[in-house]
Structure 1
């Protein structure tokens, strides 16, 4: 069920639990600002999630409350994951769903990285 990104942060969401080590993840990147791991329900041959380590519900929440170091660290982590996984030359898609109209399902900011095949147009027509 899509969530309302204006709601307060839920410390029991699945990504918060992964960050606390309560749930496993197949990690591909981890630093002070971000964690990247394989999606458990992949929508492309390669489907990774990159999440900031701070408690942020959405992009607007993150951009308003995160420190400059957190913002730079998260953005750099997304690029590093793309480089580390060899996606720069063939290409990849980034997607961040925010709020109910976009079908955000986990109330923790996350960026999807899709790759491994030609992805087609951005939105169904």
Structure 2
């Protein structure tokens, strides 16, 4: 099975609008175990979990937000929605004793899907440094 680093090396940031695997999850073309959804965001279990709880939170509309480095002032609301959804997911997953949120950005950050997303990891003690 390919590692996250392998997948990141293969990932290409789209030039225009090309559907990502996350777009296909949003449109229900690809199944996922959804744990939270509202009109702005979708949260689902990672298929290759790195912790007992590993959920990915994504905006339903990319609006050019393929990575955090592309964020503009117009994205402030959706960035807040992503963080709030991460908090709701952590509460729903009973991660009261702590959890980690991660955004991998760009090739050196090992981003493997160019659709901004937040990882919510918990259910065990995290180590530091993470990378």
TM-score under structure 2 normalisation? Answer: 0.81
Matched, 1:58 2:67: yes
Q: How many angstroms does 1:122 deviate by?
A: 3.0
Change (3 A) 1:119 1:18: same
SS at match of 2:87: helix
Separation in structure 2 between the aligned mates of residue 115 and residue 15 of structure 1, nearest angstrom: 22
Change (3 A) 1:45 1:92: same
SS at match of 1:100: coil
1:65-76 equivalences under 5 Å are: 66-76=74-84
For structure 2, list consecutive stretches of 5 or more residues without a partner in the other structure. 1-6
For structure 1, list consecutive stretches of 5 or more residues without a partner in the other structure. none
Matched, 1:48 2:58: no
1:1-125 equivalences under 5 Å are: 1-2=7-8, 3=11, 7-8=14-15, 10-55=17-62, 56-61=65-70, 63-64=71-72, 66-87=74-95, 89-124=96-131
Q: Tell me the matched-pair count.
A: 121
Change (3 A) 1:120 1:9: farther
Over the residues paired in the alignment, what is the CA RMSD in angstroms? 1.9
